[in-house]
């Protein structure tokens, strides 16, 4: 189908969706899901809403603190050579949807400026509607948005393809790389191209991570040899194990935020003395784990917007973990079900679709790396000997307010409200 013909059809589909009528064709599932979110949030379909641009100083601060900087060389090498010829631009946005880098064909850059698609702009889906940046962040998978699939009509002359970028060290969502251009420049292979380059950039981070572990292992090996027959581990700042002595090496040791020299209790190891190493930490484990050192209580605090934590308590101390939006959703669902949930049940509760079990298993694998000994599986649940306390926000509407998971939405609607 020619682009103009496809645009006419999509405009009819969108008009029917806005009017609550039967559409001439069904929108693609990821687009239909996004439109439902836009309607529920009250995003205006014909009014271009823009939030405040980041200042140059704010943008530079975000750039400096973002792991996305390390991915830029691969993204540029894989995408920029073809952009001038294809009349596209590349943008890289952080996990908040803020555009931090933008490069490509000058005429398209000028056209993008008129749309507010510039460095420092907020392209979160809740602000500008369905788009290749914000929708990819919500869906957490590659998304192409063509013409009238954009919820806001001022974007209908554009097409975009965005792929999420993750940190392979912990699975954390870092942001999105997006290729956008005028409607006439659309090509069906664009999304596959952008996705492939995004995976190459993630692979580059993984290679650098392995190289850093090897350097740490070289530094730590003679130290650990002198500690035998003691128990100790050398880990990088993210807790990945470079070398151990005296016990079986865990793949990763969850570390508390703000770890420094001194003594700390870790659920996986017990009481440890922490010493700095070039590129990581030396953890000297107590000769024998303290009696009752295993986790006995978990406080899941969802009371503050986007500051969700899981704090693990044991006889020897406590340890706190900041949660990603997806991990907060999963732990909330498990806290609601002491008997546990299968991957299919969690998929239904998260996405309204019991078949997305691969995503559920991958996310739970990541969160279990952080909460060793706290979460069990087959089915997924909190361990039987762990007491779970759930702290909700005072206003039920604030419970994981970002979440569109059907089970979370039901929990918000059915939660008892305080009577003033």
Which residue from 342, 333, 355, 341 is spatially nearest to 403, judged by alpha carbons?
333
pLDDT per residue as tens digits for the range 342-397: 999 999 999 998 998 988 998 888 887 777 668 888 899 988 888 899 999 988 88
CA angle (123 as vertex; 118, 126 as ends), nearest 5: 155
User: What percent of the chain has a predicted confidence (pLDDT) above 90?
Assistant: 49
Q: What is the mean pLDDT of residues 70-98?
A: 91
Which residue from 125, 68, 140 is spatially nearest to 360, judged by alpha carbons?
140
Band (pLDDT 50/70/90 cuts) for residue 418 is low
Question: Of 49 and 110, which is predicted with more confidence?
Answer: 110
CA dist 335 and 329 (Å) reads: 10
Question: Of 291 and 212, which is predicted with more confidence?
Answer: 212
Delineate the domains of the chain, giving CATH numbers in brackets: 3-207 (3.30.450.40), 228-285 (no CATH), 295-414 (1.10.10)
Please report the pLDDT score of residue 419 as a whole number.
Answer: 45
Q: How many residues make up the chain in this entry?
A: 420
pLDDT per residue as tens digits for the range 60-72: 999 999 999 999 9
Please report the pLDDT score of residue 297 as a whole number.
Answer: 85
| Residue 44 neighbours by CB distance under 10 Å | 12
Model's pTM, two decimal places?
0.73
Please report the pLDDT score of residue 139 as a whole number.
Answer: 87
Please report the pLDDT score of residue 248 as a whole number.
Answer: 86
CA dist 251 and 68 (Å) reads: 24
Contacts 24+ apart (CB under 8 A), 316-320: 316/265, 316/270, 316/271, 316/290, 316/292, 317/264, 317/265, 317/271, 318/265, 319/254, 319/256, 319/264, 319/265, 319/266, 319/267, 320/256, 320/257
């Amino acid at each position: 189908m020619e682009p103009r013909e496809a645009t006419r059809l999509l405009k009819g589909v969108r008009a029917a969706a806005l009017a609550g009528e039967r559409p001439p064709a069904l929108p693609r599932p990821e687009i239909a899901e996004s439109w439902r979110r836009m309607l529920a949030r009250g995003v205006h379909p014909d009014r271009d809403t823009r939030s405040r641009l980041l200042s140059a100083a704010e943008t530079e601060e975000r750039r400096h603190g973002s792991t996305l900087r390390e991915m830029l060389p691969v993204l540029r090498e894989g995408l920029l050579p073809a952009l001038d010829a294809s009349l596209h631009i590349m943008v890289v946005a952080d996990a908040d949807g803020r555009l931090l880098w933008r490069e490509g064909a000058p005429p398209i850059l000028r056209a993008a400026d008129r749309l507010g698609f510039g460095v420092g702009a907020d392209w979160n889906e809740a602000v500008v509607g369905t788009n290749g940046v914000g929708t990819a962040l919500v869906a957490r998978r590659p998304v192409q948005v063509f013409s009238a699939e954009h919820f806001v009509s001022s974007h209908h002359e554009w097409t975009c393809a965005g792929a999420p970028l993750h940190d392979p060290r912990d699975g954390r969502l870092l942001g999105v790389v997006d290729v956008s251009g005028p409607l006439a420049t659309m090509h069906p292979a664009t999304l596959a191209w952008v996705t492939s380059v995004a995976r190459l950039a993630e692979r580059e981070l993984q290679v650098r991570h392995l190289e850093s572990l090897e350097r740490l292992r070289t530094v730590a090996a003679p130290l650990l040899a002198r500690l035998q027959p003691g128990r100790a581990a050398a880990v990088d700042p993210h807790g990945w194990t470079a070398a151990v002595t005296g016990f079986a090496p865990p793949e990763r040791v969850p570390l508390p935020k703000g770890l420094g020299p001194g003594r700390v209790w870790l659920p996986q190891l017990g009481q440890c003395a922490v010493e700095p190493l070039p590129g990581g930490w030396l953890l000297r484990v107590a000769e024998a784990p303290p009696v009752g050192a295993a986790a006995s209580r978990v406080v899941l605090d969802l009371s503050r917007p986007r500051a969700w934590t899981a704090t693990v308590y044991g006889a020897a101390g406590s340890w706190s973990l900041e949660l990603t939006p997806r991990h907060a959703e999963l732990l909330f669902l498990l806290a609601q079900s002491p008997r546990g949930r299968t991957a299919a049940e969690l998929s239904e509760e998260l996405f309204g679709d019991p078949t997305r079990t691969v995503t559920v298993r991958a996310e739970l694998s990541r969160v279990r790396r952080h909460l060793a000994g706290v979460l069990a599986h087959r089915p997924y649940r909190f361990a039987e000997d762990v007491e779970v306390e759930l702290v909700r926000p005072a206003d039920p509407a604030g419970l994981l307010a970002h979440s569109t998971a059907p089970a979370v939405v039901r929990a918000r609607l059915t939660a008892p409200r305080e009577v003033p």
